[in-house]
Homo-oligomer: A and B are copies of this chain.
Amino acid sequence: MAGTDKTQTSITGGPAVILVHPQLGENIGFAARAMMNGGLSDLRLVAPRDVWPNPKSFAVASGAEGVIEAARVFDSTAAAIADLHRVFAMTARPRDLIVTVATPRDAATEMRRVVGEGAKAGIMFGRESKGLENDDIALADTVIQAPLNPAHSSMNLGHAVMVMAYEWFQAGDETPGRTLSLGRTDLATKEELMTFFRRLEPELDACGFFHVKEKRPIMVRKIRNIFQRAGLTEEEVRTLHGILSGLTRRSRTPGNRDSDD
């Protein structure tokens, strides 16, 4: 997860991606790009339909050229998975087979465990037109089926590889669900925020904003809550001071109100 060194992050020992009889060169390229996004690098092709290497794959690779160059071509699915200990088959269509069916998320968790134990895993994807054949699925330990719109559950090949590469990475990632990104500034302290309120509220008194006296406490609370909730930075509190200075200066200079508008 740490660092941005290409070599380090692309060699993960993650699952091999096995494309069985892929038809379009572009889709092999899209699959390679998706693999790179998820930190995967072991691409295997079983008897691709078109010429290999395929220039159309490189055309859409966007940085994943290395994955395509290192791809290995096999004559059969059995040969492509021979060195693997745990094999998954991704398919949209449930067949008349007795198989363990896992979600992408559950499968990714299992892959992390298997790989963590020093074993080698792989995920098979079928050809674009009809997915994996039963003979290929029978070679897998587990079928992966993504819960998707039942009326349109068939994914584009590159998209299917993206979902698995994404879930593989998520299964090993600890990014918190939600964070505040601060750019180059720091969050304001409560004292900085209070200093702003101690300037704002007297100005609101002076301009007659709190004209119903008994409602002043509740209005103050509501106003403080707006700025409190925003999670302001130091810089933003300075901007608010500037706005306040500008608005109050303007209202104190008679004649300006109309001439500037």
Contacts and interface: CB of A to CB of B under 8 A. Distances in A.
A128 to B, nearest CB: 9
A170 B6 contact: no
Contacts of A98: 180-183, 185, 233, 236
A208 interface: no
A106 B177 contact: yes
A31 to B, nearest CB: 10
Nearest to A128: B62
A84 interface: no
A46 interface: no
Nearest to A166: B163
Given A163-B162, A169-B149, A181 B63 contact: no
Interface in A163-187: 163, 166, 169-170, 173, 175-185
Interface in A71-129: 94-106, 109
Given A10-B152, A178-B100, A147 B159 contact: no
